[in-house]
Amino acid sequence: MEYNKISEYLTVIDLSSNGFVREIPSSIGSLNQLHMLNLSNNAIAGSIPSPLRNLTKLEALDLSRNELTGKIPPELTQLTSLAFFNVSDNRLSGPIPREKRFNTFENGSYGGNLGLCGAP
């Protein structure tokens, strides 16, 4: 069943600690009214999908304690409302974005990702 209006009213998704194991679906980027997305403490694998850049109202993004790999998409620096960001305890690698809001996040937001480099 498809709920066409739900994306207009859904502002918070907290699916933390649910044992999810697959990838984050790219379609989550179409929920452009989201202010908070928490997928922490699961076993989500794969990369962080670039379509998350479409969540322009997002204020908090918690992807910590999963099995995410790859880079932090530089497109996420477009999320100018982002006040909380946590990708700690994954298997991410590559440079930490340094533009815009990403200059304000503390070291703990990135901890436990031995492949990440650069200053947070």
Residue 2: predicted pLDDT: 60
Query: What Å distances lie between residue 17 and 64, 88, 111, 114, CA to CA?
Result: 11, 15, 19, 23
- Rounded to an integer, what distance in angstroms lies between the CA atom of residue 119 and that of residue 76? 17
Q: Can you give the pTM of this predicted structure? A: 0.90
Query: What is the homologous superfamily of the domain 6-117 according to CATH?
Result: Ribonuclease Inhibitor (3.80.10.10)
Per-residue model confidence as pLDDT tens digits over 92-119: 999 999 887 888 888 899 999 999 887 7
- Rounded to an integer, what distance in angstroms lies between the CA atom of residue 116 and that of residue 107? 11
Strand, coil or helix: 51: helix
Per-residue model confidence as pLDDT tens digits over 52-104: 999 999 999 999 999 999 999 999 999 999 999 999 999 999 999 988 788 88
Locus of tokens 């989201």: 34
